[in-house]
Amino acid sequence: MNLRDIHIPVMLERCVELLAPALQRDGAVYVDGTLGMGGHSEAFLERFPDIRLVGLDRDPDALRIAGERLAPFADRIALVHTVYDGIADALASAGHDHADAILYDLGVSSLQLDEAERGFAYAQDAPLDMRMDPTQGMTAADVVATYGEGDLRRIFERYGEEKLAGRYARAIIAARQTAPITRSGQLVDILQAATPAALKNAGHPAKRVFQALRIEVNGELAALERAIPAALGTLAVGGRLVVLSYQSLEDRFVKRLFAEATSSTAPKGLPFELPEHAPQFRLIVKGAELASDEEAARNPRAKPVRLRAIERVKEAV
């Protein structure tokens, strides 16, 4: 298996460009909070021969594959089995008290999508699992089997932004009375049957439901809401964080958390801002950047990406 053929890091050159200023100091610490198959990290280790990598991933298979890929840099890396909101503990376990540059490449990884038996892809029949860490936690089949109609509707609406959430929730409840729903193919059939004929050509009916189940199973948005402040808290002055998001819910979370971090804490009505109220961070890109048309054509997984970046400019008070 040639990882360079099956895994193309998204917006790699832009990530390098944005994080490079924070990696110029001797022994700079680079955190890959979503290590995956190690494509981004390999590039950073090659281009910055003095940096130290702390790589985080909740997926044991990803850690194993990345470890093999990054073996030539073994003396400069520490790989940690954890969710990305565990960044502070991961840094401490690797002997570091801060980070200089951090990358979060969110969402489901190429490894998870391409391994059919993980159940992430609605286009392939497989056990309905969807756990990013298959060693723990409930599966998508557990959610489908145990959640009530109201809860199913809630996650489909909130995490999938699915307009037919109620219809799909009712269809699942009815179908599971007949037989357990344990495979992705079964769920796809149920959703297709419940989709009005007029909407059958408006995109695959399973896309948003599968996204919602994945987010619910892995607690992705809750972890993200904890991870951004945790990551910002580890950054040294001049340190930078880049986040790649692939769906609107993630991007809205990142946008809001970055806005909070770059806002003054001065009480309203003060005639001037005291130094202690000045923001500790500044945005280093305007809004959200997209992949180029050329990259999106070359790597379809780059099409939905939204990149945001932030830099610490002062110590915490």
- The tens digit of pLDDT for each residue in 257-287 reads 999 999 876 666 666 666 666 889 999 999 9
* Residue 55 assigned to a binding site: no
Q: Report the distance separating Cα 190 and Cα 209, nearest Å.
A: 11
Whether 122 shows a pLDDT value over 90: the answer reads no
In this prediction, residue 102 has a pLDDT band, given cuts at 50, 70 and 90, of very high
Q: What is the mean pLDDT of residues 188-211?
A: 87
* Residue 119 assigned to a binding site: no
Whether 23 shows a pLDDT value over 90: the answer reads yes
* Residue 40 assigned to a binding site: yes
Q: What is the mean pLDDT of residues 88-117?
A: 82
* Residue 98 assigned to a binding site: no
Locate the DSSP E strands across the chain.
29-32, 52-57, 77-81, 99-105, 235-245, 281-283, 306-312
The pLDDT score that the predictor gives to residue 182 is: 94
In this prediction, residue 134 has a pLDDT band, given cuts at 50, 70 and 90, of confident
All domains in the chain, ordered by first residue: 3-105+221-312 (3.40.50.150), 119-218 (1.10.150.170)
The pLDDT score that the predictor gives to residue 266 is: 63
Whether 110 shows a pLDDT value over 60: the answer reads no
Q: Are 75 and 50 in contact (CB under 8 A)?
A: no
* Residue 38 assigned to a binding site: yes
Average predicted confidence (pLDDT) for the chain: 90
pTM of the model: 0.88
* Residue 36 assigned to a binding site: no
The pLDDT score that the predictor gives to residue 109 is: 58
Q: Which residues pair with 310 in a beta bridge?
A: 241, 283
* Residue 159 assigned to a binding site: no
Q: Note every long-range contact of 143-151, with CB atoms under 8 Å and residues 24 or more positions apart, other chains counting.
A: 143/213, 143/216, 143/217, 144/172, 144/176, 144/181, 144/187, 144/213, 145/176, 145/180, 145/181, 148/173, 149/173
Share of the chain above pLDDT 70, in %: 89
pLDDT in tens, 201-232: 777 888 899 999 999 999 989 999 999 999 99
Q: What is the mean pLDDT of residues 23-29?
A: 93
